[in-house]
Amino acid sequence: MKRDIFVIGVGGQGIGLLSETIIRAADYAGLPVKGVDTHGLAQRGGMVTSHIRIGEGAFSPLIMPGQADMVLALEIHEALRGLSCHLKDGGILVYYNVSLQPLNVRLGRERPVTCEDITRECKRRSIKEYSVTAKVPDPRMQNMTILATLARENLIPTIDVKHYEMALEDLLSGKVLESNLALFRSLL
């Protein structure tokens, strides 16, 4: 099984935690995995991306445009961006349906992206779409909704719920671990 995953969002949403959790879960599942993050203007709400390559034959962590099997996005505008530039036809898109309105939208230079825009593009390119709208107690926990969708739908075969939980236990502790695990489990 080979799976190239492009993760995209806005600084402060937990892209790094989401990607590192997937990488560690793949490792716990005994799968070869490579990954790399690009943070850009993360501290100012800028775009953040991660490349994750799971399986044999991945010699570089970078995924070429149009070659990702899956795009995980934590914001609707970034979902359309990831879908348009990295996801291959017939791939999988999982996105958290929230709009953080990029500057050009706030200034009225561009119209906001809608779910209909995403669905239309997915249908045109035979992409399986998962729109996530679960309510979270803290916006920094939106990444757990994406992780739960991966686990519930078995979108990365051979990575089980226990692998994701073990990875979270490596990365978080105390009340933060407890609340994230509780949300993750409630969405399975």
Give pLDDT, residue 47: 76
Identify the band that residue 185 occupies on the pLDDT scale cut at 50, 70 and 90. Answer: very high
Amino acid, res. 140 = R
Give pLDDT, residue 140: 87
pLDDT for residue 177 is more than 90: yes
**CA-CA distance, 139 to 117, in Å (whole number)?**
24
Give the predicted TM-score (pTM) of the model.
Answer: 0.94
- Paired with 129 in beta bridges are 93
Per DSSP (E only), the strands in 45-185 are 47-54, 68-73, 87-96, 128-132
Chain centroid, CA 109 distance in Å: 27
CB of 47 closer than 8 Å to CB of 78: yes
Query: Is pLDDT larger for residue 139 or for residue 42?
Result: 139
Query: Is pLDDT larger for residue 110 or for residue 166?
Result: 166
- Paired with 93 in beta bridges are 71, 129
Convert the pLDDT of each residue in 97-135 to its tens digit.
999 877 788 888 989 999 999 999 999 999 999 999 999
Give pLDDT, residue 39: 62
Convert the pLDDT of each residue in 36-82 to its tens digit.
987 655 555 567 899 999 998 878 889 999 999 999 999 999 999 99
Give pLDDT, residue 6: 98
CB of 150 closer than 8 Å to CB of 141: no
